[in-house]
């Protein structure tokens, strides 16, 4: 996203790192991203952020890939000479990063990206999750970090139980948007329910189709790109969406254009099994769009505020929530205003970046 504009899927963790990095640059900090190389990438400086590339060797066998990746990561860090290293999303890079920081005395900060990262079954470890030795190395590396950052209270509590008390709670942030044009996704006066995510199994996009069958008076719009781990799911959802009159499948939409979908929607829908703190919640609230979530409710925000609703993984309850939101425009408007006020007071990127600045520099409260 940073180097190549809007090409390709952008995950929530990457988006947060870019937003926070831009804020830190504006405050006078030098920020460097170390990324895996790819044919379309070049080393450059974008929006004040320097991008350094390292070779990945993703198609080689495990022994070669891990050895080369460790060496490449450490060499890239030696080129940069950072005062603090920050990583978000568990992957192999954490191990050479920990070695580098231990040897050089560099401050190491890790931010949890997904609730499963603090469980015994971290989905973000992917193919590595079957290797108990690898998982033990990851937990040991995290226990050696100078600071850990959780996105929600459930995540923080689990991290404290596993790694000790020094875990900071910092939710995600998002810029307060300027006036955004509305995407052309509305048919007459029919309400629009929007779903935005990369099409992954644990995001459960198939449930959007089931909800569309249950609620024929609303139009459901699916926005999301293909996931590498299960590319066939994208084709399956696209095909089945085409069989329904009230489902519109948009596929991948560039980040610069996706805000217009949030601005045009009446309700934002989340069907994931769990997440840390969805950026899509912030995008929805920033555009005065209330959230209807099947199971994800970071820190109980939906239960404790009027920013939306959580069905506690009860499909029938979610159907009732959506029916109420789409049929009562006045009630929906009240929740729209409340969603924006909650966002403005708690999740502006300036507010969140200040918290990160303190933790990264070692001057913030734990």
Q: CB–CB of 149/118 below 8 Å?
A: no
DSSP characters over 69-107: HHHHHHHHHHHH--SEEEEES--TTHHHHHHHHHHHT-E
Q: Where are the domains of the chain?
A: 12-173+348-361, 192-346
Range in 37-41, 197-201, 266-270 with the lowest mean pLDDT: 37-41
User: Any residues with CB less than 8 A from the CB of 190 and at least 6 apart, and which?
Assistant: 217, 218, 219, 246
| CB half-sphere exposure, 214, CA atoms < 13 A | 15
Instruction: Provide the CATH number for the domain formed by 12-173+348-361 in this structure.
Output: 3.40.50.2000
| Res. 320: pLDDT tops 80 | yes
Burial of 3 per CB tally in 10 Å (0-12, 13-18, 19+):
middle
pLDDT score recorded for residue 366:
44
| Res. 4: pLDDT tops 60 | no
More confident residue, 196 or 139: 196
Fold: same for 12-173+348-361 and 192-346: yes
| Res. 61: pLDDT tops 80 | no
Instruction: Assign domain 192-346 one CATH number from 3.40.50.2000, 3.40.50.1970, 3.40.50.920, 3.30.70.1560.
Output: 3.40.50.2000
| Res. 63: pLDDT tops 80 | no
């Amino acid at each position: 996203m940073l180097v190549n504009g809007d090409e390709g899927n952008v995950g929530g963790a990457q988006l947060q790192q870019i937003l926070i990095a831009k804020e830190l640059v504006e405050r006078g900090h030098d920020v460097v991203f170390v990324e895996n190389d790819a044919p379309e990438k070049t080393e450059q400086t974008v929006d004040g952020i320097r991008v350094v590339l390292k070779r990945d060797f993703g198609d080689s066998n495990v022994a070669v890939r891990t050895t080369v990746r460790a060496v490449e990561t450490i060499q890239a860090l030696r080129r940069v000479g950072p005062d603090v290293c920050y990583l978000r999303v568990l992957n192999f890079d954490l191990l050479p990063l920990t070695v580098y920081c231990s040897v050089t005395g560099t401050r190491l900060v890790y931010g949890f990206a997904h609730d499963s990262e603090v469980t015994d079954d971290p989905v973000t470890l992917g193919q590595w999750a079957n290797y108990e030795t690898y998982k033990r190395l990851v937990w040991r590396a995290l226990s050696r970090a100078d600071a850990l950052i959780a996105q929600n209270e459930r995540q923080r509590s689990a991290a404290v139980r596993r790694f000790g008390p020094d875990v900071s709670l910092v939710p995600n942030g998002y810029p307060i948007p300027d006036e955004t044009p509305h995407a052309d996704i509305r048919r007459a006066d029919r309400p629009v329910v929007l779903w935005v995510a990369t099409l992954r199994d644990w995001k459960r996009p198939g449930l959007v189709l089931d909800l569309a069958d249950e609620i024929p008076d609303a139009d459901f719009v699916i926005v999301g790109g293909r996931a590498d781990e299960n590319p066939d799911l994208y084709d399956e959802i696209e095909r089945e969406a085409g069989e329904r009159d009230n489902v519109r499948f948009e596929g991948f939409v560039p980040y610069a254009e996706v805000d217009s979908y949030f601005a045009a929607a009446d309700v934002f829908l989340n069907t994931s099994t769990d997440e840390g703190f969805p950026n899509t919640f912030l995008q929805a609230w920033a555009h005065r769009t209330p959230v209807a979530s099947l199971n994800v409710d970071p820190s109980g925000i939906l239960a404790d505020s009027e920013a939306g609703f959580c069905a506690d993984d009860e499909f029938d309850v979610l159907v009732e929530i959506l029916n109420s939101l789409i049929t009562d425009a006045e009630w929906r408007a009240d929740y729209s205003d409340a969603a924006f006020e909650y966002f403005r007071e708690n999740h502006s990127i300036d507010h969140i970046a200040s918290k990160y600045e303190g933790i990264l520099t070692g001057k913030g409260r734990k």
